[in-house]
Amino acid sequence: MTTSRVPVVEKIMDANDQVAQQIRQKLDSHGILAINIMASPGAGKTSLILKTITALSSKYKMAVIEGDTAPVTIDADKVLASGVPAVQINTGGECHLDAMMMSRGLEQLPLEQLDIIIVENVGNLICPAAFNLGTHKNVLIASVPEGDDKPYKYPNIYRGVHALIINKTDLLPYITFNIDYFRQGVEMLNPALATFPLSCKTGDGLSEWISWIENQLNTRKAK
């Protein structure tokens, strides 16, 4: 049973990667920077996206692709209320977005008018790490209330990201969270990772995150 399952999984992943490559080519042809945001439920994905929209939407044309396991539009509605286009993708219970879902989402967006697309992946620290979406940057949000042991328990998702948000730093005085222990775990897995401690609630640290996005966009446009 195990030996027959491995080729099937490899075939699925190969097909996903092929579609992801096509997506990357499409994004590049339109000069779009695409960012895939992953996190566990409640870490602050939507809050960070809304703060990012507030900071950047007056300078750049933005859109959001929202992935949810259920046909609810709560997060997409919040994005739409901010004045930015949003596409809702119902994964049908799947614990992650994949490249085919991403491709269908892109079909609903005016790519020729956009500079930045932010993808809010399904809240999960395991499945999203395995599926390439064709985005340029993968970002993980870890929040203080989740605890400082997550890099040790969920190493794969930390290995494959380009930036790490440590959200809800305003709670550090009230919650036991050893940030040095946390960082040590992260650095063992991904030593070149850009890390941004911040609070979506207070706004502390957000400017560094916003500058990072603008640098990524400017770097891409300079190519």
Contact between residue 206 and residue 174 where contact means Cβ atoms under 8 Å apart: no
Write the DSSP assignment of 91-139 as a string of letters.
-TT-SS--HHHHHHHHTTS-GGG-SEEEEE--S-SSGGGG---S-SEEE
Q: What CATH number does residue 193 fall under?
A: 3.40.50.300
pLDDT > 70 in the chain, percent: 95
What's the confidence (pLDDT) of residue 73? 81
**Bridge partners (DSSP) listed for residue 68:** 90
Return the pLDDT at 12: 67
**Could you report the per-residue pLDDT of 123-136, keeping only the tens digit for each?**
999 999 999 999 99
Tell me what the mean pLDDT of segment 66-84 comes to.
Answer: 89
Going by pLDDT thresholds of 50, 70 and 90, the confidence category of residue 2 is very low
CA–CA distances in Å: residue 53 to residues 58, 84, 161: 8, 8, 21
Long-range residue pairs from 11-14, CB within 8 A, at least 24 positions apart, any chain: 13/130
Residues sharing a CB contact under 8 Å with residue 70, sequence separation 6 or more, in sequence order: 90
Tell me how far apart the alpha carbons of residues 171 and 97 are, in angstroms, rounded to a whole number. Answer: 30
- What mean pLDDT is predicted for residues 93-100? 92
Instruction: Give the number of domains in the chain.
Output: 1
Residue span of the structural domain in which 155 resides: 2-222
Instruction: Count CA atoms closer than 13 A to 211's CA, side-chain side.
Output: 7
Strands, E assignment, the chain = 33-39, 62-68, 86-90, 116-120, 137-143, 163-167, 194-197
pTM over 0.85: yes
